[in-house]
Amino acid sequence: MHHGTVEMCHWLGKVPGVPQITRAILESNEPILRIEVAGMSLDNPLGLAAGWDKSGRALRMTQCLGFGFSEIGSISARPSRGNPRPRLFRLPAERAIIVNYGLPNDGAEVVARRLAESRPPYPLGVNIVKTNDGNDAVAASEDEILADYEHSASQLHPHASYLSLNLSCPNAKGGQDFFARPGSITRLLERLAPLGIECPVFLKIAPVDDAAEHERVLAECEGFSYVRGFCFNLPTGKPDTLQFAGASESFAQRPGAVSGKPVESLINRCIAGLYTRMDQRRYYILGAGGVFTAEDAYRKIQLGASLVQLYTALIYEGPGVVKQIAHGLARLLKRDGFANVATAVGSSHAGSSIL
């Protein structure tokens, strides 16, 4: 169904009048939601998260769904078929899905050519990850991992509004463990520096609610001015830090990472912790995980996220949820006396309790 929906959007985007009609139905116009992040001007802070349009095939339609920006990928240096099927499971009672795709995508060179031909008129993020060579592949060396990211970044950064370096993907072998080692992020950023990347770069890091880990990541980014923010990834497996509405025994053995409501509390704690430690004049946070309502998005913004991404909500609620959240978020901001969404970022930290 996922693949079919992306392909349908790909072809509908070429039908005269369909994108325009879709935009008229689904877009919102709320001036209070306009925001500037890392030099990018957005009509609203809501974005389509990476993982839905993996190779940038549906851009003509996703730009009409009411988002302020979107992120494609994850994209690797070489094409990848991903993990064997079955690799996606719904958990309706949990408002969640289990994702074990393994990063199927067309590869950096193909996607770069695609973006050169058709880039949307609003900010587009491009998510980059190490190539998934399969579970039976020989472990990659440090140089091979760094070269993989370097090749993708060199191909894709001219076509991106921002790059997101996926350093903790839970669905592929190799790469994610490497960046948990002290000094590894610095080595990657040193490798990318000669490319002259002009767009802002965000790091997609593991959702670790730990002050020392946040300080470590910030310290490794300190000397690289092109790094402008962070996003927390899904946790690997089914850790105790997730909050399930029911018993998890029935799906605990299914391979993959959980997205949706069970990750919301963990991600919110990570956002709050990182926000209080980072240089808020330089860095921005993209908040993703469990956003189904305007209240969910508002909570992440109050905890420190300047932008909020959706994915699982689209599966259960459909594309109309974007406009619904946008209108609801505007009402919440007006209710609480904020002049615009930027002034609400991190506002919970002014009180005595933020969680």
CATH label of the domain that carries residue 17: 3.20.20.70
Q: Is 169 a catalytic residue?
A: yes
Q: Residue 296 in contact with residue 304, Cβ under 8 Å?
A: no
**338: nearest Cα among 43, 34, 38, 27:** 34
Nearest to 214 by CA among 269, 287, 290: 269
pLDDT at 355: 41
**Position 118 in a domain:** yes
Q: Structure tokens of 139?
A: 């472990």
**Res 91: pLDDT:** 94
CA distance 198 to 106: 24
Q: What is the DSSP letter of 75?
A: E
CA distance 30 to 205: 31
Answer whether residue 287 shows pLDDT above 80. Answer: yes
**H/E run at residue 287:** strand 284-288
pTM for the whole structure: 0.94
For residue 10, tell me if it sits in a domain.
yes
pLDDT, tens digit (0-9, with 9 covering 90-100), for 218-230: 999 999 999 999 9
pLDDT digits (tens, 9 = 90+) for 33-67: 999 999 999 999 999 999 999 999 999 889 899 99
Beta bridge pairs of residue 307 = 286
Q: How far apart are CA 252 and CA 162, in angstroms?
A: 35
Q: Identify whether the C-beta of residue 28 lies closer than 8 Å to the C-beta of residue 64.
A: no
* Cross-strand bridge partners of residue 232: 205
Name the catalytic one among 9, 169, 221, 270.
169
Helix and strand totals (H; E) in the chain: 11, 13
**Interatomic CA distance for residues 53 and 74, integer angstroms:** 9
DSSP 305-349: -SEEEESHHHHHH-THHHHHHHHHHHHHHHHTT-SSGGGGTTGGG
Q: What percent of the chain has pLDDT over 70?
A: 97
Residue range 106-127: average pLDDT? 93
**How confident is the model over 222-272, as pLDDT tens digits?**
999 999 999 999 998 898 899 998 878 778 888 899 999 999 999 999 999
Would you say residue 319 lies in a domain? yes
CA separation for the pair 236, 255 (Å, rounded): 10
Q: Is residue 253, in this structure, part of any structural domain at all?
A: yes
Residue 28, in any domain of the structure: yes
- Overall domain count for the chain: 1
pLDDT at position 12 over 80:
no
Q: Which of 177-191, 230-244, 310-324, 339-353 has the lowest mean pLDDT?
A: 339-353
Is 355 among the domain residues?
no
Q: Give pLDDT, residue 291.
A: 98
Contacts of 12 by beta carbon, 8 Å cutoff, 6+ apart: 18, 19, 61
Q: Which structural domain range is residue 75 located in? A: 2-350
Pairing between β-strand 257-260 and β-strand 96-99 as defined by DSSP bridges = antiparallel
